[in-house]
Structure formats: structure tokens, C-alpha cells
Structure 1
Amino acid sequence: MVMMDLSTDVDAVVENIGRLPSEVFSETCHEILLHLQGKTSAVDVVENCQKFQRAGINLDWKLVQDIIRLLSFNFRSAAKSNLTADLLITRLGEASCKWSKPALQVVHQLWTENASNVQAHQEAQAMASIGQLVDIQWKLGMAVSSDTCRSLNSPYISVLMKIADTSGEISYKSFEMTVLQFQNFFRQFKEMASVLETV
């Protein structure tokens, strides 16, 4: 059984998959499998939405996101259960009778080629179970007015981190720190980088 949020109709998602040309569907599946192997940090919904539009299939980002989530869930579940390509196809057919034969052929072929790599990475990731830092940005600012702060006109650093969690979803974390805290933060990152170079 496929688990998605309650507002998502699996048959409707599968019907949208059936509208995609085989080569476009194959590219999307391949991108998801690369992510599940740890070779990319996330699957870009907007990029896939544009790819579908170039192929003449107009789906809004929510529908594209539903496709990516459904496929990711099924590939991840197949990896955890060590399913063969034939068993994965059987499970997909049990979850929805709307799968087209060409789509199932694409899934079968790609799972046959990538299953062992996905399984190995998913096992390793299950042990670590942490997200991946994709990007970090910082800005220097100056506090000029506040209802609660007594020490104004002191500089601060605003940090924004872009993080891909283990499911591939992108989230943002932001926080502020003093210049001294930021210098310590920077020093710790430099130490981590030098340790990683020796590994």
C-alpha cells in the first residue's frame, strides 16, 4: 500500500505519470534514483515542472511534487524491503490499477539497474539519519532599534542554511549570532574542513 498525505489520490498521481512521455518519465525516475543513492542532494520540483512543460504536459508544482513523492516513497520502500524489479511492479499494480505499461517498463528497467546502489545507500543513511547541508549564506547587520535589547548599534550576523533532509525535501534554518559567535562558528567549520581533507 502506498502511503501519502490524505489529500493525495494515488490513482490521480499515477494517471498524471501516465501522461508523461516515457523519456521524460525516465529522466525524472533517474533523478530520484540518483538522489536515493546519495549522488544528488535533492530532486528539484521546479526544474521537473519546467521539464514537463517543455514536453507539453502542464502540471502545477503541487502535482509534480506528488509524482516525485510517490516515486520516491515506492523506490525507498522497495529498497528497505529488498524488492526485485518484478516485485516492485507487482506492488505498484496492487496500489493502483492506473499504471500504464510503458511507465511500469521504465520503473522495471531503472530499478533493475539501480536497486543495489539504492539499497546500499538507504542502509547507510538509515544508520546516520541526518540531513545534508546544501548551502549557507550570511549577512552582517546592525541593530538600530529594539523594544527589548539595551545594547543597540552592535553588529550581528544573520545566517541562512539550506538543508536537504533524508527524504529529499529542502528546508531552511535561520539564526543570528554576535560577531564573536560567528568567528567561533567559522573557526569550527575550518577545523571540520581540515579534518575531512585527511580522511
Structure 2
Amino acid sequence: MATREMYELSGAGFEKSCDLMKSLPPDLFAELCQQSIRNLQCENCGVDQTLLSQRFQAAGVDTNVDEVRNVLNAVDYLFSTAAKHKLSTDALLNTVASHYKLPKQTLQVIRHVWNEEGKKLSDIKCSRDLLPAAKLLDFQWKIGMAVSSDSCKSLNHPYVTVELKVAEHSGQVQHKVFEMTIPEFRNFSKQFKEMSAALENV
């Protein structure tokens, strides 16, 4: 049941997110909800929580980037769970109102956003859980030669360093670096070619 899943969000962390939701002016909360919806529909590559935090602070809301990220995650979860279970607007509002004690103006924003976007979000076919995956922004690789190592027994062997630049759904950009042996990289390359061939047939 969606009600039970949403209830599992309760706890100190989520209660703090609800406290921040209560302090947001309706227009800023509506902006956050709209960004969440666009993100869940994969229409953007993440939400800039730093910019949102600055906007909230300019409006007199005492917050920081981490708190904004937590609120965004909470809103993402509410909408994604509602979409996954194809909740009506009334069912969503009853669940939220009964568990989270949000003020009327906050509930009105949720009602408006879900009336406008809920059906479209619920109809997305790739809605396994509707929490968006990270987006690959850049892919770099280079070949190197191991000349010294505390753990590697076989030096003077070539290796490939891969660096990925990834935008998470929260808006954070992460750099992920890993190394592969030449056989591992060949297998990696082969899998990419197989994916490319499969996509051409779609």
C-alpha cells in the first residue's frame, strides 16, 4: 500500500524536512515541487539545490544546502510513490495530511501540482520507482603504466584510467575514477559496442 510506504518515511530526518516545508512560502515550495516533477520525468539533469538554498535564504528561510537536498528527496519520494501506485489527488493528500501534518497552504500546492502533473507522471512507462538515475555528463579515459605501487605485484604493465562526470538527481556533480587492466577495458569496450548495436535495432 502506498500509505504504508509513505509512512515508512517518518522519522527524525523526514520530520526535519517537513519542518522546512512548513516554513517555505507557497511560491517557493511550488517551485521546488515543479523541479521535482521535471526531474522525475527526466526533463532535466538534476536540481541545483545550492541555487534553491540561496533563494530560500533570500526569502528569509533559515536553511542550508543539505536541508534543501533532504526536502527535495522527500518531495521526490512522495511524488514517485504516488505515481507508482497511481494515487488520485485526494488519496495523496489524505496520506500526506494524516501522517505529516503539513499546513493547508503546503497541501494546496501539492494538490495543484499533482492535479497538473500526476496523471502524466503516473503514465510514464519506465516508472519502476520513478527516482531518476544519475546522468552521465562526461567520459574520459587514458592509458598509463604502473611504475610503483604498494599493492600491485606486477609493475610495468599498462592500465586504463576512466573518469566519469555524473550529475546526480539532487544536482550534485560527482567525479568517479577507476582503473582497469587492458583485458578488462577490452571487455568494457565490447559491452559498449553490444549496447550500441542493440540500440540501433530499437
| Fold-level similarity (TM above 0.5) | yes
* Distance (Å, rounded) in 2 between the aligned partners of 1:179 and 1:52: 49
Task: Report the Cα offset of residue 55 of structure 1.
Answer: 3.2
1:143 aligns with 2:146: yes
Aligned length: 194
Residue in structure 2 matched with residue 85 of structure 1 by the alignment: 89
- Of 146-155 and 111-120, the range deviating more from structure 2: 146-155
* Distance (Å, rounded) in 2 between the aligned partners of 1:47 and 1:193: 36
Q: Using a 3 Å threshold, how does the CA distance of structure 1 residues 111 and 130 change in structure 2: closer, same or farther?
A: closer
**Which of these residues, 126, 150, 159, is aligned with residue 128 of structure 2?**
126
* Distance (Å, rounded) in 2 between the aligned partners of 1:43 and 1:59: 16
1:57-68, aligned counterparts within 5 Å?
57-68=61-72
* Distance (Å, rounded) in 1 between the aligned partners of 2:96 and 2:60: 26
> Does the CA contact (< 8 Å) of 1:2 and 1:74 recur in 2?
no
Specify the code of the residue in structure 1 equivalent to 2:91. L
Task: Report the Cα offset of residue 179 of structure 1.
Answer: 4.7
In structure 2, the gaps of 5 or more residues are 1-5
SS of aligned partner of 1:138: strand
Specify the code of the residue in structure 2 equivalent to 1:135. L
* Distance (Å, rounded) in 2 between the aligned partners of 1:70 and 1:130: 14
Q: Using a 3 Å threshold, how does the CA distance of structure 1 residues 130 and 177 change in structure 2: closer, same or farther?
A: farther
**Which of these residues, 174, 195, 199, is aligned with residue 196 of structure 1?**
199
> Does the CA contact (< 8 Å) of 1:139 and 1:159 recur in 2?
yes
Task: Report the Cα offset of residue 77 of structure 1.
Answer: 1.9
Q: Using a 3 Å threshold, how does the CA distance of structure 1 residues 127 and 35 change in structure 2: closer, same or farther?
A: closer
Specify the code of the residue in structure 1 equivalent to 2:136. V
RMSD (Å) for aligned C-alpha atoms: 3.3
Instruction: Give the TM-score normalised by the residue count of structure 1.
Output: 0.76
In structure 1, the gaps of 5 or more residues are none
* Distance (Å, rounded) in 2 between the aligned partners of 1:129 and 1:150: 42
* Distance (Å, rounded) in 1 between the aligned partners of 2:129 and 2:58: 39
Superposed CA offset, 1:49-90 (max 9, x none): 233234332312221122112211211221122222222122
SS of aligned partner of 1:134: strand
Identity of aligned residues (%): 31
> Does the CA contact (< 8 Å) of 1:133 and 1:161 recur in 2?
no
Task: Report the Cα offset of residue 172 of structure 1.
Answer: 6.5
1:91-102, aligned counterparts within 5 Å?
91-97=95-101, 99-102=102-105
Residue in structure 1 matched with residue 73 of structure 2 by the alignment: 69
SS of aligned partner of 1:77: helix
Q: Using a 3 Å threshold, how does the CA distance of structure 1 residues 197 and 41 change in structure 2: closer, same or farther?
A: farther
Task: Report the Cα offset of residue 138 of structure 1.
Answer: 2.9
Superposed CA offset, 1:129-172 (max 9, x none): 9945423433434322023434434442222345678xx46776
**Which of these residues, 117, 142, 155, is aligned with residue 152 of structure 1?**
155
Residue in structure 1 matched with residue 109 of structure 2 by the alignment: 106
Residue in structure 1 matched with residue 3 of structure 2 by the alignment: none
